């Protein structure tokens, strides 16, 4: 009889007020447990201790380093020749037309790319894509400014073609292993993008576990009630 009364007191009354806050095992509590520390909306960070991440970072570093080195050398050689800052004459360096302004700009952009090479990771990937896009845009702009008084960087057709080629190559280095519809499942960008897809499965599993625990508790209560009635 005492056991039956104890079980009856443990069960909530049908007309009782709902408890304040979250009830352990409830849908809200389980949802919070699933979402705690969920990194789905964080930026992808390459972990270079993993082989795939290390390989991607090396590709981004190589693209930024090669392009940056060429631009720095090109700019330094242009300054050594003491070409006028806004001279639009036919001064060539490494097969490209140049002047003082273009030489300084090349050194600045090259130094930025070399910094991206040193830093590596997601930063180098994004930097390659951004600078590559700017080079392609520069090619279109300076193509429109050829043979005009606004051609302050002394661009010629070979410079325009170089901007297009370098821009597309840099962008491809930056997008490697990042922008594709068929990334392998061990790819860091795939892992980040597909965490949201795993959430419903995790939530359903947690809810199923909670329901199973509740069913076990109810079954135990019924068994205790039956045993108490038999003793009585």
Q: What percent of the chain has pLDDT over 70?
A: 55
For the chain, list residues with pLDDT below 50.
1-3, 5-7, 10, 22, 24-41, 198-202
Q: What is the pLDDT of residues 42-88, one digit of tens each?
A: 566 665 656 666 777 888 899 999 999 999 999 999 888 777 777 77
Tokens of 92: 């060539």
| Separation between Cα atoms, residue 173 and residue 231, nearest integer Å | 79
| Separation between Cα atoms, residue 68 and residue 71, nearest integer Å | 5
Long-range contacts of 89-92 (CB under 8 A, 24+ apart): 89/154, 90/156, 91/154
Reported pTM: 0.62
Q: Does residue 160 contact residue 146 with C-beta atoms inside 8 Å?
A: yes
Q: What share of the chain is helix, strand, coil (3-state, %, to 5)?
A: 65, 0, 30
Identify the helix (H) or strand (E) that includes residue 197.
helix 195-231
Per DSSP (E only), the strands in the chain are 92-93, 96-97
């Amino acid at each position: 009889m005492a056991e039956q009364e104890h079980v009856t007191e443990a069960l909530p009354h049908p007309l009782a007020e709902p408890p304040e806050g979250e009830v352990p095992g409830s849908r809200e509590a389980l949802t919070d447990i699933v979402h705690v520390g969920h990194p789905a909306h964080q930026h992808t960070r390459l972990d270079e201790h993993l082989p795939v991440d290390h390989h991607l970072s090396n590709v981004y570093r190589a693209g930024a380093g090669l392009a940056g080195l060429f631009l720095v050398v090109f700019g330094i050689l242009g300054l050594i020749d003491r070409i006028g800052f806004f001279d639009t004459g036919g001064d060539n360096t490494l097969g490209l037309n140049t002047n003082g302004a273009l030489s300084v700009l090349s050194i600045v952009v090259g130094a930025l790319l070399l910094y991206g090479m040193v830093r590596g990771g997601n930063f180098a990937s994004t930097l390659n894509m951004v600078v590559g896009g700017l080079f392609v845009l520069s090619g279109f702009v300076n193509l429109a400014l050829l043979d005009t008084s606004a051609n302050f960087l002394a661009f010629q057709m070979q410079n325009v073609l170089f901007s297009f080629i370098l821009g597309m190559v840099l962008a491809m280095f930056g997008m490697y292993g990042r922008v594709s519809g068929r990334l392998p499942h061990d790819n860091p960008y795939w892992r980040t993008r597909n965490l949201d897809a795993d959430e419903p499965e995790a939530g359903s599993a947690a809810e199923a576990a909670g329901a199973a625990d509740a069913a076990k508790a109810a079954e135990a209560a019924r068994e205790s009630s039956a045993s108490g009635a038999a003793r009585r």
